[in-house]
A and B are shown apart, each in its own frame.
Chain A
Amino acid sequence: MLSIENLTKTYGDKRAVDDLTLNIDDGEICAFIGHNGAGKTTTIKSVCGILKFDAGEIYIAGKSIKEDPIGCKSMIAYIPDNPDLYEFLSGIKYLNFVADVFGISADVRQKRIREYADRFELTEDLAQPISAYSHGMKQKLALISALIHQPRFMVLDEPFVGLDPKAARELKMLMRDICDAGGAIFFSTHILEVAEKLCDRVAIIKAGKLVAVGGMDEVKGDSSLEDVFFELEEKL
């Protein structure tokens, strides 16, 4: 589903991402972990076509994000680390806007909004202006808008921050459902226990370089992911 080849992105003199190569297959959930400033968000934004990169290539289901950004973005759903949404719209108008962009028919969007809003317990608040939403409600709305076109590939930057336990559980179930249906998930997190339980693959980034990548069992062996992560941090 995702193929990152020798991705490099610099900000001035600083190499935020340095020659990073990573592959995620269909049906896989891949956790992307690293300390603050390691290059996670830069990588994620490059994957989603938000950020132009200096070198390398990114393919989504075989399509180059450079050559066919619209085609790639049609398959992707992206949730940023901070859900800054259009505060001048109500929740339902925001969802309708996203549905318009993805060309979803009236009946289908109605059905999907009903389903996901009920699952995340946001239905009653959809008429409220987004400016009146809490952080968690904005995160839920961003998730619903990401799911509205039934993406094949989801890219999530710290998706569990601000979610209540029920919503976090729903999200984990949805992530698994998408992968079971042949999709894939690439998400960053600092909650290593969640990554360990939920993911098939893990990629650890430090100072812009991948320091470990592979199947979850392969990377952590008999240790916990937390132990492996700190071990790698100290070693390199």
Chain B
Amino acid sequence: MIGKLIKLNIIALFSGILKTNRKRTKPVAKALIILLLVYACGVLLVSFGAVFLTMAEPLFSTGIGWFYFALMGIIIFVLCFIGSVFMVQPQIFEARDSELLLSLPLKPSMILAGRIFALLVVDYAFEALIVIPAFAALIISGCISYIPMLGMVFLIAAAVLLPLVALAAGCFFGWLVASIASRLRRKNIVTLVFSIALFAVCGWGYYGVLGNMNSLLTSGAEIAEAVRRAVFPAYHLGVAISGGSIMSFLIFAACAVVPYALMHMLLSASFMKLAMRGRGAKKVKYREKAMHVSGVGAALLGREMRLFMSLPLYIINSGLGAIVTVAIAVVLVVRPQLLTDPIVQLSAFMPSFETGFIGAIVLSALAVMNSVSSPSISLEGKSLWIVKSLPVRERDVLLSKVMLHVVVCGAPSIVAGVICIFALHLRGVAEIALTLVMPVSVTVLFALLGVTLNLAMPKFDWINPIQPVKQSASTMLVIFGGMALVVVLAAVYGFLLSSALSLGVYLVLCTVVFVAACAGLYAHLISAGCRRFQEL
């Protein structure tokens, strides 16, 4: 039975990627999604491989090989934690099928175990993105010869145990947020603030490690000593693998298993209460007051905006680019030198690079990270009948979804663009115009693209709204397509056109292409898109 529950939960977690509400997803679309997934995994594997390859030789040759595995363990923990923490809430604390499953002759602990193990499978997938390049780097660098046979056995065992501790931490964090939020009326804001804070800490840590890679290699011994004192399970993990120490492995194993077992017991004991959380929420009594009247367009946009604001995970996952854009705008106002100094260094390092266009490039690159519109059709879910039965035109419904993306992501781009112009002292007309227009053109393009793709691949039978937000085919295509677009545009200029065109002219041409693509997608959306919406 437990196997069936795990399978059910895994299907629910991943069904949105390749399955849509169309009877058959087109093979080309399936192939494209698989290709993009392979590309994303490839990028991560190569990136982590490069980091481990840089570290392996210096660490093993100076006798602190354990630090290599300790770092590997820390990175796995962080990646698995981030990967699972945002799934814990919808999967465990807010799962919509809890009542259905609890009505079946199943033990609550078994239902919970099915959900936790499904998350564990996701964590193992994340872990593979680290362990595989770390192991490959050992072979390539020849440092594998430093590892005793028992250490190899401990490496395999550690790979099994590491996600347990990350999942325990993820569940604790999710429980903490859910507990605090349940006591407050504006619980979405609590979840949102916690999530953004978590992202900020992880981002700060990641860029801190990258920025200090040189000092990590030159002062490895001191940093290793600090890690040994501060993160002793990671130290024992490193010693167990690099030295084959049984005692260290047992200490590490205890550090992984005990928190997991405690978390499992705690959740098992309180699963019924967690599953029924919110049923007894304090009643808000209605008091009549003047009603706000809007036109059809404003009403539809307001509906989209309320849905967006009601789901903190939708904001975090789909509006990440906008959040970072806001952060950049704030930094440019509060501490501009944090961003202007690297630009000065860049211009010294690459004198030919026209730094006046950096605002346009960075803000446009951030704009492709937004996927607000790509799950918007799927998010109608079982309520789709409402807009289809009301006297509203299909184009108004579709354009309200486009507008949500444009408003949420375009407004920060414009504000950040204006601040960029002043903070970076831009003077040229092309620099100023591109800083304002290019990111907006990218935002509009991706807003239209998201709705178009979601119309082609909708999914309405989700259990939790986070499924279409995070795992739908249209979202995958928009996110990875955006990343691919950035790489392709940079490569085309860097390898083919940099000698023939100035950066400014190239960016103007890109903007013209984006605007033309917007016009094409808009025309498609209000004709074929509307017909497709009628068929849903």
Q: Which of A161-218 contact B (CB under 8 A)?
A: none
Q: Does B247 contact A (CB under 8 A)?
A: no
Contact (Cβ within 8 A) B293 A84:
no
**What is the size category of the interface that chain B forms with chain A?**
35 or more
Supposing A88-B307, A114-B288, A128-B284 touch, asked if A49 and B389 sit within 8 A by C-beta, the answer is: yes
Q: Does A20 contact B (CB under 8 A)?
A: no
Contact (Cβ within 8 A) B281 A132:
yes
Inter-chain contact total with CB atoms closer than 8 Å: 95
Q: How far is the CA of A103 from the CA of B385 in the complex (A)?
A: 19
Q: How far is the CB of A115 from chain B (nearest CB, A)?
A: 12
Contact (Cβ within 8 A) A88 B302:
no
Q: Of A29-37, A90-98, A225-233, which binds chain B?
A: A90-98
Contacts of B291 in A (CB 8 A): 96, 99, 106, 109-110
Q: How far is the CA of A71 from the CA of B307 in the complex (A)?
A: 28
Q: How far is the CB of A44 from chain B (nearest CB, A)?
A: 10
Q: Does A150 contact B (CB under 8 A)?
A: no
Q: Does B287 contact A (CB under 8 A)?
A: yes
Q: Does B295 contact A (CB under 8 A)?
A: yes
Contacts of B386 in A (CB 8 A): 85-86
**What is the size category of the interface that chain A forms with chain B?**
35 or more
Q: Which of A65-103 contact B (CB under 8 A)?
A: 69-71, 73-74, 76, 78, 80, 82, 84-86, 88-93, 96-103
Q: Of B362-370, B390-398, B401-409, B426-434, which binds chain A?
A: B390-398
Q: Does A135 contact B (CB under 8 A)?
A: no
Q: Which of A130-150 contact B (CB under 8 A)?
A: 132
Nearest to B383 among chain A residues (CB) is: A84
Contact (Cβ within 8 A) B296 A127:
no
Q: How far is the CA of A91 from the CA of B281 in the complex (A)?
A: 16
Q: How far is the CB of A14 from chain B (nearest CB, A)?
A: 13
Which residue of A71, A96, A100, A110 contacts B296 across the interface (Cβ within 8 Å)? A100
Q: Does B534 contact A (CB under 8 A)?
A: yes
**Binary contact readout B1-28 vs A (1 if CB under 8 angstroms, 0 otherwise):** 0000000000000000000000100000
Q: Does B294 contact A (CB under 8 A)?
A: yes
Contact (Cβ within 8 A) B382 A97:
no
Q: How far is the CB of A83 from chain B (nearest CB, A)?
A: 9
Contacts of B388 in A (CB 8 A): 48-50
Contact (Cβ within 8 A) B389 A100:
no
Q: How far is the CA of A48 from the CA of B389 in the complex (A)?
A: 6
Q: Does B292 contact A (CB under 8 A)?
A: yes
Contact (Cβ within 8 A) B285 A70:
no
Contact (Cβ within 8 A) A70 B391:
yes
Q: Which of A20-41 contact B (CB under 8 A)?
A: none
Contact (Cβ within 8 A) B392 A101:
yes
Q: Does B298 contact A (CB under 8 A)?
A: yes
Q: How far is the CA of A89 from the CA of B386 in the complex (A)?
A: 13
**Binary contact readout B204-231 vs A (1 if CB under 8 angstroms, 0 otherwise):** 0000000000000000000000000000
Q: How far is the CA of A151 from the CA of B104 in the complex (A)?
A: 42
Q: How far is the CA of A171 from the CA of B292 in the complex (A)?
A: 28
Contacts of B310 in A (CB 8 A): 88
Nearest to B294 among chain A residues (CB) is: A100
Contacts of A105 in B (CB 8 A): 293
Contact (Cβ within 8 A) A101 B299:
yes
Supposing A96-B291, A100-B295 touch, asked if A127 and B392 sit within 8 A by C-beta, the answer is: no
Which residue of B307, B311, B385 contacts A84 across the interface (Cβ within 8 Å)? B385
Q: Does B481 contact A (CB under 8 A)?
A: no
Q: Does A13 contact B (CB under 8 A)?
A: no
Q: Does A15 contact B (CB under 8 A)?
A: no
Contact (Cβ within 8 A) B306 A100:
no
| New A-B pairs, 16, CB < 8 Å, besides A100-B295, A128-B284 | A52-B535, A73-B391, A84-B381, A85-B383, A86-B386, A88-B311, A89-B306, A96-B292, A97-B303, A100-B293, A100-B294, A102-B391, A106-B290, A125-B286, A128-B283, A132-B278
Could you jot down 27 A-B contacts, CB within 8 Å? A12-B23, A48-B389, A50-B385, A69-B391, A70-B393, A71-B391, A73-B390, A76-B389, A78-B385, A85-B383, A86-B306, A88-B310, A89-B306, A96-B291, A96-B292, A97-B299, A98-B390, A99-B291, A100-B293, A100-B299, A101-B391, A102-B390, A102-B391, A105-B293, A106-B292, A106-B293, A124-B286
